[in-house]
Amino acid sequence: MTRWRARGSGPSSVVALGVVTLVAMTAIGEALASAPVSAAGKQTITFAESGLGSEGAQTQKAITGFEKANPSIKVNILVLSPNSTTYLQQLEQRFIAGDSSPDVMESDVTYPAKFGKAGWVKELDSYKPNLKQFFPTEVAAGQYKGKTYAIPWFDNPEGLFYRTDLIKTPPKTPAEVVSDAQAAMTADPALKEGIAFEGAKYEGAITAFATVEGAFGGKLNPADLNTKGNRAALTWLYDALYVNKIAPQAVTGWMEGNVESEFQAGNAAFAINYPFVESSVAAVAGPAKGHVGYIPFPANPGGTPGSALGGEMLAINAKTTHAAAAYKLIQYLTSSKVETARAIATGDPPSLPAAYTSTLLKAAPYFKQVETLNKYAQPRPVNPNYLQISSDLQTMLSSVFSNLSKPAAALAQAAPLVKADAAGTGSGGG
Amino acid sequence: MSTKSVARRLRLPSIGGPPPIAGVARKADRRLGYALVAPAVLLLLLVTGFPLVYNLWNSFHNVILSNAGAPQNFVGIQNYTELFTTPGFVQALARTLGFMVVSVVLETIAGLALALMLHRAFRGRGMLRAAILIPWAVPTVVSALLWTTMFDPRSGFVDYLLGILHLPGSQTTWLAGEWTAWAAVIVADAWKNVPFIAIILLAGLQLIPGDVYEAARIDGASTWQSFRRMTLPLLRPALMVALVFRTLQAFLVFDIIYIMTGGGPGSTTETLSYLNWQAFLVDTNFGYGGAISISLVVVSLVIAGGIVLVMRPRT
C-alpha cells in the first residue's frame, strides 16, 4: 500500500493517465487522418460509395483506371450502407463530426440541397463544370439557391415494365394498364399479380407514386400537394390494390428488389421499377426473359408520360484538403467513356446524353428506352428539408396502400405537413 | 479542548475508538478502492453522464445541425412544449406504453411457465436450458428480419402454417394492418425475450429450498397453493429484476420496429424511440431529439422506480 502511494499513483494520477492516453490516441488518429500526402508527394483521397456487387466492382475498376491516369493520387474506397437512409446517416455523422473524410462521395439526387444548405459539401461552380453536357433535370437536383453542389453521375429514370409476350401493344392510358393487367391475369394463371410496385414505407414508394402522378397531371410540389392530379394518381394506385385488384396487398412490404424479383420470376405482367430490371431479367432464365418492354407510365389526357428521376451524383466534402484531386476524380468518373463502361457492366444509365452512343445501344439496346424515359423524368422536390418531406409522404402513401386512409383524406392530411416541412416550420423543426 | 481531541493531537489511542493504525489502513484501503473504481466511474461518466448532460443542454436550445450558421440559442422549454402539444408524440407515447404492458405481461407469463418447466427434472434438461437461450443470443436486427420473412404473405411460414391447419388468418398481410402489425411485432419480440425472463426466473427458482415445498406437501398444500403461497412470493426478487429489465427494454423498443414495420403502416407502429431516431438522425434536430431523450429517461426512471417500489421484498 505504502509503496503504491509512494509512486504517486493517486486517483488524480489515474485521471491524468486516462486523459493523456485519450489525448495521445486522438493525436495519433488526427495525425493519421491528416497525413494523406506521402513523402513522394502522392495524395490519398477517400471516396465514399454505397455500391455492392457489380456496381462496387465497376467502381473499383474505374478507380484503378483513374489511379493509372493520375499516378500522384491514390483513392481509398469507403463502402457504406447500400440502404439509402442508412448511407445518408453514415455520411451525416461524419459531416457533423467535422471529418474531412470522405473527400468525395456518392450522393442520392435528393441530398445535395440539404448538404449545400448545411455547408457540408463544397460549392463546385468555381471549377466551372460543363453542366450543359448532363441531363438538365439531374443538374437541377444538384443545385441549391443557384449554386452547384453535386455533379450528375448516373441517371435512373423509373418507369413501367411490361411483359411483351402477354401485352402485345403497350398501354396508352392508365385505364389500359388496368385492362391489360386484368386480361393478362385471366390469360396466364401463372401470373400472381397484374402489376408490382414499391409500396413499403420507404423512399421507393415516393418514386413509384412520382412515376404515376405525372400521367394524371400531378406534381410533387410541396407548396401544393393536394391537387386534382395527385388525388387521381393516388386513387389509381389505391384502386389497383383494392378496387381493380391487379396488385396484391403484399406490395405494402415491397421495395425495388422485391418488385424486380416478382417481374423476373414471371409473377407480374407490369412492374414499376428502375432500368436495372432489364439487365437482371436478361441474366436469369425465366418466363420474362426476352419479353421485356420499358415505357414511361402512359398519360391520361392532360397529363404527360410519367417517370421519376432517381440517380446518383458526386459531391466534395467541404472540409477536404484535397479538393482539386477530388474534383479530378469526379471529372474522370463522369466522363463519357467511364459512364458508358459502367452502364454496360451494371445497367446504371449515363447522366450524359452524349454517352448514349451506338456502342452503348449495341451492347444494351434497352438504353434507347432509358434515353426516352430521361426526357420525362421528374425530380422529387429539391429542398434542403427533403428528408422531412419524404417522411410525411412515406407515412401518407403507407396509410393509403394499407387501406388505413382513403387517397383524398390522406392527401388532405399530408399537404399542410409537407408544406410546413418544406418551409422548415414543421413539427420538431422540421 | 476535549479529551478526545487532545488524544488525537498527541496521537494517543482514544478510548472506545479504533486503534490509529487500523484507521490509517482503512483510509488507505478507501483510497485504493477509489483509485480502482475511478476508471470505471470515468468511463461511465464519459459514455452515460456526458450524453445525458449534453442532451439536457440540447433540449433547452435550438440545435439543428443541418442548419448551418443558425444560432444555437436558448429556447427555454419550447422543445418540451412542442413535444407534448404534437399529436404524433402523444400517440407514440400511448403506443409505446401499450406495447410495453402487453409484451411484458405476455412474456412474463410465458417466461414463468418455461422456467417452471425447466426447473423440473427430466432427461435432456441441461441441453434444453442451453437451447432456449439461442433466440436471446440472436441479434435483434437478425431476429426482426427473420420474423419479417416468416410473416411474409407469399412465402412466409406463419400464413403457410395457419393454412395447413385450416386456421383463420392464413391470407393475412400481417405488416399491412395496424393490429396485425403489432401482433407480429409482439410475437417476434416474445420469441427473443421470453428465454431471457425464463433464465432469470429459473435462477430464482433454484434459490428456493426444496424443504419448503416438502413442508407444504406434508401440511397438505395443493400444487396451486404451493405456487401461489410460496413460489411466487419467494420468486419476487428475481421477478423484480426480470420486470425492470424487460419493461425498460420494451419501453425503449426501436430496432424490431425499425426493421419489421418502419413505423408503418402509416405511423401506427411509431414508438417514442422511433421518433427519437427520426429527430436525431433524419431531422438532425438535436434540440427536439434531446427533449425526447430526456423525456424517455424520466419516464424510464419512473417506471423502474415504480416496479422496485411495488415488487421490493417486504419485511
Tell me what pLDDT residue B15 has: 52
Query: Among residues A317, A304, A370, which one has the least CA distance to residue A135?
Result: A370
Per-residue pLDDT tens over the stretch B237-289: 999 999 999 999 999 999 999 999 999 999 999 999 999 999 998 888 999 99
Separation between Cα atoms, residue A126 and residue B137, nearest integer Å: 54
Provide, as residue numbers in chain B, all residues whose Cβ is less than 8 Å from the Cβ of A96: 65, 284
B7 — pLDDT class (breaks 50, 70, 90)? very low
Per-residue pLDDT tens over the stretch B129-141: 999 999 999 999 9
Percent of chain B with pLDDT over 90: 75
Average pLDDT, chain B: 90
CB contact under 8 A, A398 and B264: yes
Provide, as residue numbers in chain B, all residues whose Cβ is less than 8 Å from the Cβ of A114: 66
The type of residue at B164 is I
Provide, as residue numbers in chain A, all residues whose Cβ is less than 8 Å from the Cβ of B265: 201, 252, 398-399, 401-402, 404
Separation between Cα atoms, residue B137 and residue B130, nearest integer Å: 11
B315 — pLDDT class (breaks 50, 70, 90)? low
Tell me what pLDDT residue A39 has: 52
Per-residue pLDDT tens over the stretch A240-261: 999 999 999 999 999 999 999 9
pLDDT at A12 over 90: no
CB atoms within 10 A of CB A96: 14
Provide, as residue numbers in chain A, all residues whose Cβ is less than 8 Å from the Cβ of B88: 427
Per-residue pLDDT tens over the stretch A349-397: 999 999 999 989 998 888 999 999 988 999 999 999 999 999 999 999 9
What the block records as the C-alpha cell of B121 is 427434472
CB contact under 8 A, B267 and A4: no
A38 — pLDDT class (breaks 50, 70, 90)? low
Tell me what pLDDT residue A386 has: 92
Separation between Cα atoms, residue A168 and residue A414, nearest integer Å: 39
Separation between Cα atoms, residue B60 and residue B74, nearest integer Å: 6
Q: Chain B contact for A290, CB < 8 A?
A: no
Provide, as residue numbers in chain A, all residues whose Cβ is less than 8 Å from the Cβ of B184: none
Tell me the pTM.
0.85
Per-residue pLDDT tens over the stretch B80-131: 999 999 889 999 999 999 999 999 999 999 999 999 999 998 999 989 999 9
Chains A, B: CB contacts within 8 A come to 129
A18 — pLDDT class (breaks 50, 70, 90)? very low
Tell me what pLDDT residue B16 has: 53
CB contact under 8 A, A387 and B178: no
Q: Chain B contact for A21, CB < 8 A?
A: no
Which of B29, B64, B86 is the closest to A427 by Cβ?
Answer: B86
Tell me what pLDDT residue A100 has: 95
Per-residue pLDDT tens over the stretch A254-309: 999 999 999 999 999 999 999 989 888 988 899 999 999 999 999 998 899 999 99
Closest-CA distance of chain B to residue A374, Å = 29
CB contact under 8 A, B38 and A14: yes
Tell me what pLDDT residue A84 has: 80
Tell me what pLDDT residue A113 has: 94
Q: Which of B46, B159, B267, B275 to mutate to test the interface with A (most CBs of A within 10 A)?
A: B267
Average pLDDT, chain A: 89
Report CA-CA distances (Å) from A363 to A273, A340, A343, B116: 21, 10, 10, 67
- The residues, any chain, with a CB within 8 Å of residue A396's CB and separated by 6 or more, are A405, A410, A411, A413, A414, B266
Q: Chain B contact for A187, CB < 8 A?
A: no
Separation between Cα atoms, residue A229 and residue A408, nearest integer Å: 11
pLDDT at B314 over 80: no
Distance of CA A400 to the CA centre of its chain: 23
Name the closest residue on chain A to residue B155, using Cα atoms.
A250
SS3 for A237-277 is HHHHHHCCCCCCHHHHHCCHHHHHHHHHCCCEEEEEECCHH
CB contact under 8 A, B262 and A399: no
CB contact under 8 A, A4 and B38: no
Closest-CA distance of chain A to residue B288, Å = 6
Tell me what pLDDT residue B192 has: 96
Tell me what pLDDT residue A10 has: 42
Q: How many residues does chain B have?
A: 315
Report CA-CA distances (Å) from B168 to A15, B116, B194: 64, 31, 25
Which of B38, B176, B266 is the closest to A395 by Cβ?
Answer: B266
Instruction: Rounding to the nearest 10 degrees, give the CA dihedral for residues B104, B106, B107, B111.
Output: 130
B21 — pLDDT class (breaks 50, 70, 90)? low
Give the phi and the psi of residue A181 in degrees, each rounded to 5: -65, -45
The lowest-confidence range among A93-97, A146-150, A416-420 is A93-97
- Residue B284: burial class (beta carbons within 10 Å; 0-12, 13-18, 19+): buried
- The secondary structure element, H or E, covering residue A107 is strand A104-108
DSSP A266-306: T-EEEEEE-THHHHHHHHS-STTTT-EEEEPBPPPTT---B
Q: Decide: A253 and A200 in contact? Cβ < 8 Å.
A: yes
Tell me what pLDDT residue A86 has: 84
CA atoms within 13 A on the CB side of A329: 34
Closest-CA distance of chain A to residue B302, Å = 25
pLDDT at A422 over 70: yes
Tell me what pLDDT residue B23 has: 76
Provide, as residue numbers in chain A, all residues whose Cβ is less than 8 Å from the Cβ of B33: none
Closest-CA distance of chain A to residue B282, Å = 7
Closest-CA distance of chain B to residue A188, Å = 19
CB contact under 8 A, B62 and A89: no
Q: Chain B contact for A359, CB < 8 A?
A: no
- What mean pLDDT comes out for the span B220-239? 93
Provide, as residue numbers in chain B, all residues whose Cβ is less than 8 Å from the Cβ of A403: 176
Tell me what pLDDT residue B69 has: 72
A16 — pLDDT class (breaks 50, 70, 90)? very low
pLDDT at A315 over 80: yes
Provide, as residue numbers in chain A, all residues whose Cβ is less than 8 Å from the Cβ of B67: 117-118, 424
Per-residue pLDDT tens over the stretch A205-243: 999 999 999 999 999 999 999 999 999 999 999 999 999
Q: Chain B contact for A99, CB < 8 A?
A: no
Provide, as residue numbers in chain A, all residues whose Cβ is less than 8 Å from the Cβ of B175: 252-253
Per-residue pLDDT tens over the stretch B171-183: 899 999 999 999 9
